[in-house]
Amino acid sequence: MLLLLVLSIFLITMDRNNIDYYIKVNDCQIAKTSCKVVLDDENAIEINILPRGIPSTEKLTISVHAIGKNGQIQSANIAFEALEIDTTTPQYRLYKKTASSFYGSGFLALCSLSKQNWLAHLVVKKAGKVWAVELPFKKRLE
């Protein structure tokens, strides 16, 4: 039991240490439009989640495109966190379409609250560095 506890703590700590940069995006509404996120002086990414409005009952299509000097993305994945119901979706892996773009799909957790606050947690590995990008959005039950 002790070995399992030590191994769990090690894996959690190791996973946190893999993130080089944390970026919280406050100036874009990912549910309404695509978002450009500046990673550093020479690189940025554009994130798009369709359909617009990010409906809870439909499959989402997520795309990430690299912009800048080193256009290659090594890996990308995304998870969605519902703040009021304290739940997170599984991490959805995005798949390489070209050297500079990744695509994938995912779903939100179903919730019956009339107003919900969400975070899209995107993790991108590019040029040997790992960025964790947090994109907040709000949803209303229709």
Q: Model pTM?
A: 0.83
Whether residue 9 is contained in a domain is answered as no
Asked whether the predicted pLDDT for residue 88 surpasses 60, the reply is: yes
Can you give the CATH number for the domain in which 121 is found? 2.60.40.1930
Per-position DSSP letters for 48-60, written without gaps between them: EEESTT--TTS-E
User: Biggest alpha carbon distance in the chain?
Assistant: 49
Domain count, the chain: 1
Domain that holds residue 73: 20-140
Whether residue 127 is contained in a domain is answered as yes
The residue-averaged pLDDT of 54-80 equals 90
- Taking CA atoms, 52 is separated from 12, 48, 140, in Å, by 34, 9, 13
pLDDT digits (tens, 9 = 90+) for 96-105: 999 899 999 9
**Mean pLDDT across the chain:** 86
Asked whether the predicted pLDDT for residue 7 surpasses 80, the reply is: no
Whether residue 11 is contained in a domain is answered as no
Whether residue 10 is contained in a domain is answered as no
How far is Cα 45 from Cα 64, in angstroms, rounded to an integer? Answer: 7
